Amino acid sequence: MSDRDGALELGAIVTRMRGASICVVGDLIADLYVHTRPARLSREAPVLIVHHEREELIPGGAANTARNLAALGVKVWLVADVGADAAGAAVSEQLAAAGVDVSGILRRDDRPTVTKTRVLAGDPHRTKQQLVRIDKEPRRAETRPRVAETIARLERAEPQVAAFLVSDYDYDLLAPPVIDWLRARAAKKPVVVDSRHRLPRFGGVAVITPNEEEAEAAAGLRIESREDALEAGRRLLTQLAVGAVLLTRGKHGMMLFAAGVPPVEYPVVGKGEVVDVSGAGDTVVAAFTAARLAGAALPVAAWISNAAASVVVMKVGAAICVPEELQKALALAPLPASAIRSAEA
C-alpha cells in the first residue's frame, strides 16, 4: 500500500465515523480555567498576587469524551451525574449545544458537580502557566450511587447505540452493579473502557485504554522501559481476558496488544511543542471507538486515535479534534508498516 493509498483509506474511515452511535457512561467533570496576569508579590504571605482576566468552563472527563465523539460526527448519548449547581448546568448546556443527547444526565442535589479549577498566570501574548488546581468532589461518606437510576438510563440508551464507552474517574456513578451490567452487554455490543483506578473490574470487555500509570497498578508491574511496557500489556490482555489493550505512553507513543498477533508499537504523531495533555486520553478513546465502528481494524483505529491525540495536545485544556484536523494529521502521518502488517494478519 502506498502512502497516498493509506491516507485515502484513513480519510474514508474518518468520513464514515459520522452517523455512528455510542453511549458514553461515566464521570462528568467541569474544568474551570481562571486566566490571570501576574501583578506583584503579596506583603501578607510569600505568594504572587494576580489580576483576574477571564474564566473559561470546559467539559471534562466523560463530558470531554462525549464532546470529542460529537465533534467527529458521532451520535452520542451520555449517562452521567451532575450536581444541582451552576457548573453542572453550564456543562450540560455546552454538551447539548455540541449535539450530545443529555437526557441521560441526572441532576442531583446531594452532591456537587466534580469541578477542577486551574488558576493560570502569565503576561499578555505569552503562554500562561498553571499556579494551582483546586478540586471540588463528592464526599464518599455523604453520597451514594444511584444504581437503579443509572441502569435505567443505560437501558433506555441501549437500543439506540452500537457500543458503550466507559469513562471511569472513580467517583460514584460506576458502582459495582453498573459495571456488572456493562460487562454483561459485552457479548452483544463492544464495550470500550478508560478507567482511572479500576481496570481489573472490567474483565471481559472489548478494549481497555490505560496509560502507563493505570497499567502499572492493574498489572502489578513498574514500567521503566519498553520491555516493561510490553510485559504489562501482555499481562493485562491475558489476566483481564479483554479483546485488546491500547496502552498510551505519552512521549513514547502507544502500544496495541491483541490476542493472536504480535504487539504493535506506534510513535508519537507530529513534531510540534506539546501545550497541554489534559484530556488527551479522552480523545484517544473517543477516536478509537468511533474508528472501530466505522470499520477500522484494531491497528488502524489505534493509529487514528494517536493522530487525534496529536491534535488536542497542541491546545489548552480538554480539547476536541474535528474531522478536518484529524484528516490533516493523518495525511502527514502515514500508517506505520507494522500496523499494516498486523491489520492484514
Evaluate the CA torsion angle 334, 323, 269, 191 in order and state its sign. Answer: negative
193 neighbors 207 (Cβ within 8 angstroms): yes
Note if 81 is an active site residue: no
Count other Cβ atoms within 10 Å, centred on residue 110.
13
Count other Cβ atoms within 10 Å, centred on residue 129.
10
User: What is the helix, strand, coil percentage profile of the chain, to 5?
Assistant: 40, 25, 35
Euclidean distance between CA atoms 192 and 194, whole angstroms: 7
SS3 of 122, please? coil
Tally the C-alpha atoms within 13 A of residue 45's C-alpha that lie toward its C-beta: 3
Backbone angles phi, psi at 131, to 5 degrees: -95, -45
Count other Cβ atoms within 10 Å, centred on residue 228.
16
Euclidean distance between CA atoms 267 and 272, whole angstroms: 14
| From 101, 168, 172, 282, active-site residue | 282
The residues carrying an active-site annotation are 282
